[in-house]
Amino acid sequence: MDSSDYKLATSQPDAFRISELVAISKILKESDQQLSLSFDAVPRRPIPKSALHNGNDTDDFYQISLSLNLAFDIAAVLLNAEVDAVSAEGHTTSKASQIASLFDHWTAFTGSLSQ
């Protein structure tokens, strides 16, 4: 895979960094153990890095596939986690911002499933 193919593959809605998948899994484990188990069983296909890629394993991307219903259930948990991470005064926090980023990517992915 050359650099342009890699960039295209990793910019697709179904492409997630391993760090994003780990963060989503952690949120699910804290909220819904059954949903967490379902998410952890989701097939993940590694996206091969281009020969010029200098990153390490933390930079790995994976394509995932799952049902629209499971995607909606996970989106609901992520949204609730984001709301819970906002301060009592209604101000965003670092954690809320990080979860919002995950939620945005997840909703783009969910939207791609329904097309």
46-100 pLDDT, tens digit per residue, is: 999 877 766 777 779 999 999 999 999 999 999 999 999 999 998 899 999 999 9
Residue-level pLDDT at 86? 94
**Average pLDDT value over all residues in the chain:** 92
CB atoms within 10 A of CB 31: 16
Percent of the chain exceeding pLDDT 90 equals 77
pTM assigned to the model: 0.90
- Which candidate, 63, 48, 35, 46, places its Cα nearest to that of 2? 48
Residue-level pLDDT at 2? 81
What is the Cα–Cα distance from 88 to 84, expressed in whole angstroms? 9
